[in-house]
Amino acid sequence: MSEASPAQRALAAAWRHSWFRLGCAMLGLFVLLAVYAPFLANEAAIVWWDAGGISLPVIADLFNRNTFGKQHELLFNLFALLLPVYVLLWRMLPGRTIGRRISVCALILLACWAVVQVPLLPRPSGGYQALWAERPTTQRTSTTVHRDAGAARWCLLAPIPHRWDATYPSAVLKPPGWTNPATGAKTWLGTDPAGHDVMARMLFGSRISLTIGFIATGIALLIGTFIGAISGFAGGWIDLVLQRLVEIMMCFPTFLLILAVVAMTGRDIFVITLVIGLTSWAGIARLVRGEFLAQSVRDYVTAGRSLGLSSGRLMFMHVLPNTMAPLLITATFGIAGAILGESGLSFLGLGDPRVASWGQLLNHGRENPAFAWLIYAPGFAIFVLVLALNAVGEGLRQAFDPKAAP
What pLDDT band is residue 119 in, cutting at 50, 70 and 90?
low
235-257 pLDDT per residue, tens: 888 989 999 999 988 887 777 88
3-state secondary structure of 274: helix
pLDDT given at position 106: 83
Q: What is the CA radius of gyration of the chain?
A: 25
Q: Which residues contact 195 (CB under 8 A, 6 or more apart)?
A: 167, 168, 169, 171, 172
Provide the pLDDT for residue 257.
80
3-class SS at 156? strand
Please state which CATH number belongs to domain 198-400: 1.10.3720.10
Mean local confidence (pLDDT), 140-157: 50
pLDDT mean across residues, the chain: 82
Nearest CA among 173, 169, 145 for reference residue 48: 145
Residue 125 backbone dihedrals phi, psi, to 5 degrees:
-105, -30
| pLDDT at residue number 132 | 38
Look at 98-102, 123-127, 218-222 and tell me which has the smallest mean pLDDT: 123-127
DSSP states of 84-108 as a string?
HHHHHHHHH-TTS-HHHHHHHHHHH
**207: which DSSP letter?**
H
Alpha carbon distance 148, 330 (integer Å): 55
- pLDDT value for 146: 41
Q: Using the predicted structure, report yes or no on whether residue 28 has a pLDDT greater than 90.
A: yes
pLDDT band at 200 (very low <50, low <70, confident <90, very high): very high
Q: φ and ψ at 222, to 5 degrees?
A: -65, -50
pLDDT at 370 (0 to 100): 85
What is the mean predicted confidence (pLDDT) over 361-374? 88
Is the pTM above the cut of 0.95? no
Question: How far are the Cα atoms of 49, 78, 131, 234, 248 from residue 56, in angstroms, in the given order?
Answer: 9, 16, 14, 58, 55
Q: How far apart are the first and last CA of the chain?
A: 29
